Amino acid sequence: EEAHVKATTEPAPFACPICSRQLEYRLGKTGQFLSCSGYNEKIPVVPVAVPKPAAKSKKSGTKAKARKPAKIKEVPACTFAMPVDRQGRPLLPEQIDMLSPAGIPMVKRTGKFGDFLVEDKPRPVKAKGRKAAEGEPAEPPAFILNLDRKGNLKFPAAPPVLTDIACPKCGNVMNLRNGKRGPWLGCRAFPKCRGREAFSKLAEPQRLALEKELEALLRGHVRLSLTRRDGTTPVPEGTPLVSLQIEGGLAELKPFVG
């Protein structure tokens, strides 16, 4: 059988800047890109925790069941990847002319659900061993901003008001949110359940009480304020991402010597 188009690779004349293996051209959702040939090599990851031997239970005196040893996983030897232009030349990561609330430049990434923006900083290191046991404060996660279907900035919405109204479809409780046309009720189990209820059909006392609760919640919600990299030019919600993109330019990679 013929190999799938996206599975085919072509050797590139560049060396991986991380492991010095040869890079190769691959085809992804957005076109051609550079990937390390070490991605095809799998290396075993030995579990850190060693299973304890079976011990006697204090209550029954019988031997407790021994823990099953963790399965050894296999991961790619190298996951380096880099975009290329139409001529196959490596490109630097695309930058975004916007700062996070903490003043950190934002970059575009692609995940399982499409493109999103994230702070351009290293991933936080998880606490292990003594630090994790002592409960040392972990580094806050990177700020993430999503995009709508049209590729415009989508600011985080205010949290909903949890009501005691049952969903007409699944019986779960309903959330009260504020929309463009006013308050609306949606199932808490969204997106698994898309049940909705007309807010205007509620009894007047219940409707007025929920409106006051929603107003109080919205007053306490801090609106997100973002700026461009100059620190002064505001970036409002709904701004097209294309208007904030900064081309990264060509990247310099060492040639691969086989």
pLDDT of residue 1: 42
Q: In the structure, what pLDDT confidence band is assigned to residue 252 with cuts at 50, 70 and 90? A: very high
Q: Residue 246 above 80 pLDDT? A: yes
In order, the DSSP letters of the chain are -PPPGGG--EEEEEE-TTT-PEEEEEEETTEEEEEEGGGG-EEEE--SSPPPPP-B-TTT-SBPPPPPPPPPEEEES---EEEB-TT--BBPPPEEEEE-TTSPEEEEEEETTEEEEEESSPPPPPP-THHHHTTPPPPPPPPEEEE-TTSBEEPPPPPPEEEEEEPTTT--EEEEEEETTEEEEEETTTTT---EE-GGGS-HHHHHHHHHHHHHHHHHPPPP--B-TTSSSB--TT-BGGGTEE---BPP-PBP--
Q: Report if pTM > 0.85.
A: no
pLDDT of residue 2: 45
Mean pLDDT of the chain: 83
The pLDDT tens digits for 108-162 are 877 667 788 988 887 665 555 565 556 655 667 888 999 998 999 999 888 899 9
